[in-house]
Structure 1
């Protein structure tokens, strides 16, 4: 409950800055990718719940006009890559946080089928709300394998604390400023920079 109150308060504080950024981002999407401006998809939430996630669109349709299936890299123009790089595509998810579907910090929201396919690990991962940013997101994100991401997500679920959350926030700012870098992962503990294994 305390985390939920803090998340709500933080989003309300951020809204005066987020709304103008969202309007600019919507304009970039409209000019660079066309309509629709928003992408929506059902994702897995806390304890198996399913919610509708909103993002600014960063990719073109999966099929070209001749109906050929296009590669993801081809479907992501420069504008989309920069929106992802700066995390601006995720601004609409602030409303998911306000609704209680998501938290500011937590594992990345995934498709329900993906989480279900993880078995018991997916059930454990879903003990907390998915987040805008999280431990795997600041330790490499797209540079990591699915197994590495899951290991880091599970570490966070078992070891989350105010200090870990603060570290994630600081690292998120670093990712936005410098780009993604693969973290110095501790194979068993999942916590870089702490010699004493936790959890």
Structure 2
């Protein structure tokens, strides 16, 4: 009986925590809390078809931009054009995530950008520009075409960020393909805590739909244009 009460108290505490985060992230707005549900099979097939079509179109249409970024990286810094890093994928599977390299080759590996005391010291001459306009993420269109990722979904987590992974698992955020952009990216991006990121990723899974994906996509364009939330405040 004591175990039953303890479990109930734990669930109440978790519910109160999610409600607190919801009030902070969406003030004055009624939101659906993470429910750990998986969307319908129809939605999953439609989403994958959308990913294939739009990632292929993106690679073709943006090929001049991709080529220009590759030349800029190669011409301004010795080392490879692409940065490849193992990330957490769907259901805990790992995959190689591709980006344009924005940091020097001697940069400590597998360290989140926000953890550097002086990130600028490791940045390539064009790295800051590529990051601010999210151009470094464009090679992930190939990851989407391969099936490693989706256009919309929780961002793929670096392997060493175990705390964030553990926070996301109970909310089922690991049960879907990681995304090029996601709900957390348009609600603070790198300015939110791990708890808030996990909550937003779980909230996305609880509300997944074609309409919600469209909402995230178009708001992403606005966020990229404004460059909000690219980095934590300069003083931190």
Is the Cα contact below 8 Å between 1:33 and 1:58 reproduced in 2?
Answer: no
Larger fraction in helix: 2
Structure 1 SS opposite 2:62: helix
- The Cα of 1:135 is off from its aligned counterpart by 0.4
TM-score by length of 2: 0.69
Structure 2 SS opposite 1:59: coil
Question: Larger C-alpha radius of gyration, 1 or 2?
Answer: 2
C-alpha RMSD over aligned residues: 2.1
- The Cα of 1:73 is off from its aligned counterpart by 3.2
The equivalent residue for 1:186 is none
Structure 2 SS opposite 1:39: strand
Work out the CA distance in 2 between the residues paired with 1:153 and 1:120: 10
Q: Which of these residues, 121, 125, 128, is aligned with residue 168 of structure 2?
A: 121
The equivalent residue for 2:223 is 175
The equivalent residue for 1:156 is 204
Aligned length: 177
Is the Cα contact below 8 Å between 2:167 and 2:195 reproduced in 1?
Answer: no
TM-score by length of 1: 0.81
Q: Which of these residues, 122, 137, 143, is aligned with residue 75 of structure 1?
A: 122
Q: Which of these residues, 67, 86, 90, is aligned with residue 137 of structure 2?
A: 90
Deviations 1:5-26 (A, max 9, x none): 1110111222222211111001
Q: Which of these residues, 141, 145, 165, is aligned with residue 213 of structure 2?
A: 165
The answer for unaligned runs of 5 or more in structure 1 is 64-68, 183-199
